[in-house]
Chain A
Amino acid sequence: MARRESPEVNAGSMADIAFLLLIFFLVTTTIDVDKGITVKLPPWSDEPPPEMKLNERNVYSVLVNANDELLVRGQLMPPRDLRENTKKFIANPMGAANMAESPKKAIISLKNDRGTSYEAYIQVYNELKAAYRELWDDEADKRFGKVYNDLHIDQKRELRADIPLVISEAEPTSFGEER
């Protein structure tokens, strides 16, 4: 049985088809990846929160006002110093009397006005989170000789139990003009 050679398919238009597909994907997709600061909000309750007796030395009050100025414990602070100062407050390596008794007891209290710009708020929130991340990194290095992100989930949990991230956000005051 003499089999006939099947005729070759012309692949010349293949490039055009692929081009069309390529252009379709270029148009319908975006290149930006979803990245951001992940936050867990506290659950809502209609009752006012119970009055808590907090030792004042354990509370680090951070206020971003409507002029995007940063007030930490009532004093102006440039945003670039916030990270270092927060770390110092939480870890309190010198055992200062006006800083946290222990990292477990430290509470960061963040407050903003309605007129605060989102950019300033994110900047401050980012610095607070970065302070915790750096503390975790230091501690992870001390205990396990690794970066925090490379730790096993149990090790992470253990670390976070010792240095818990507590950023409490108060209801914003309605100062400042809204656009």
Chain B
Amino acid sequence: MAKINRGKGRGTPKISTASLPDIIFILLFFFMVVTVMKDSELKVQVNYPYATELQKLEKKSLVSYIYMGVPAKRFQRKYGSAPRMQLNDSFAEIKDLKLFIEQERAKLREAERARMTASIRADKDVTMGIVTDVKIELRKINQLKVNYSSKPRTDDL
């Protein structure tokens, strides 16, 4: 085949794929830079509220996440449809929060512990009752830096 092509100068020339890995690598690096690792599988449904006064949470390792929302469809038969809290990978009660925060603190160096932030990732339709319980518990265990996760809002109220 090749011989015939060369001889007659017909057929399309082979496209060089030598630069393909480079292109893919650029894509790869792009994704590595702009994305963050998924930390846990969500078992509750969370739609973040919208806000404008947002601050970025800088260091990932200094943040511990508290999810609140209605359990996902596949868990509703077992856990009901009342808003629940999720810590790490499982549903949790308010009393579990203390242990969770202490574990997160233990992971950090002593100098960094004061800078730890609790990120409250609550669904916008959750009522303040559960959020308040969490807030009080956080105050009791002296975890005072809190961040309410929200999405940027561009339109006016």
What separation, in Å, do the CA atoms of A174 and B142 have in the docked complex? 24
Q: Chain A residues with Cβ under 8 A from B20's Cβ?
A: 14-15
Contact with A along B23-57 (1 / 0, CB 8 A): 01101100110111110000000000111111111
Task: Let me know if B55 and A37 touch, CB within 8 A.
Answer: yes
A18-B24 contact, Cβ under 8 Å, with A25-B35, A33-B36, A41-B139: yes
**Interface residue B145 (Cβ < 8 Å from any Cβ of A):** yes
A119-B124 contact, Cβ under 8 Å, with A12-B17, A179-B82: yes
Task: Let me know if A35 and B144 touch, CB within 8 A.
Answer: no
A118-B145 contact, Cβ under 8 Å, with A12-B17, A25-B32: no
Task: Let me know if B55 and A15 touch, CB within 8 A.
Answer: no
A29-B31 contact, Cβ under 8 Å, with A118-B131, A178-B129: yes
A159 to chain B, nearest CB (A): 16
B19 to chain A, nearest CB (A): 9
B123 to chain A, nearest CB (A): 7
**Interface residue A116 (Cβ < 8 Å from any Cβ of B):** yes
Contact with A along B129-148 (1 / 0, CB 8 A): 11110011011101011111
A92 to chain B, nearest CB (A): 22
Number of B residues whose C-beta is below 8 Å from A?
A: 61
**Interface residue B122 (Cβ < 8 Å from any Cβ of A):** yes
Task: Let me know if B52 and A126 touch, CB within 8 A.
Answer: yes
Q: Chain A residues with Cβ under 8 A from B122's Cβ?
A: 118
**Interface residue A172 (Cβ < 8 Å from any Cβ of B):** yes
Query: For window 78-133 of chain A, which residues contact chain B by CB distance below 8 Å?
Result: 78-80, 112-119, 121-123, 125-127, 129-130, 133
What separation, in Å, do the CA atoms of A173 and B87 have in the docked complex? 27
**Interface residue B18 (Cβ < 8 Å from any Cβ of A):** yes
Q: Chain B residues with Cβ under 8 A from A26's Cβ?
A: 31
Task: Let me know if B147 and A36 touch, CB within 8 A.
Answer: yes
CB-nearest residue of chain A to B140: A44
Q: Which of B24, B70, B152, B157 touches A80 (beta carbons < 8 Å)?
A: B157
Task: Let me know if A114 and B128 touch, CB within 8 A.
Answer: yes
Query: For window 103-157 of chain B, which residues contact chain A by CB distance below 8 Å?
Result: 117, 119-120, 122-132, 135-136, 138-140, 142, 144-152, 156-157
CB-nearest residue of chain A to B152: A35
Q: Which of B51, B57, B63 touches A122 (beta carbons < 8 Å)?
A: B51
CB-nearest residue of chain B to A25: B31
* Between-chain CB contacts (< 8 Å), 20 pairs: A11-B21, A26-B31, A29-B37, A34-B57, A36-B149, A39-B147, A39-B148, A41-B146, A43-B139, A44-B136, A44-B139, A112-B132, A117-B125, A117-B126, A122-B50, A122-B124, A125-B51, A171-B132, A178-B82, A179-B82
Interchain residue pairs A-B with the least CB separation, the first 7? A29-B35, A119-B124, A114-B129, A18-B24, A14-B21, A44-B139, A80-B157
User: Residues of B at under 8 Å CB distance from A?
Assistant: 17-18, 20-21, 24-25, 27-28, 31-32, 34-38, 49-57, 60, 63, 70, 81-83, 117, 119-120, 122-132, 135-136, 138-140, 142, 144-152, 156-157
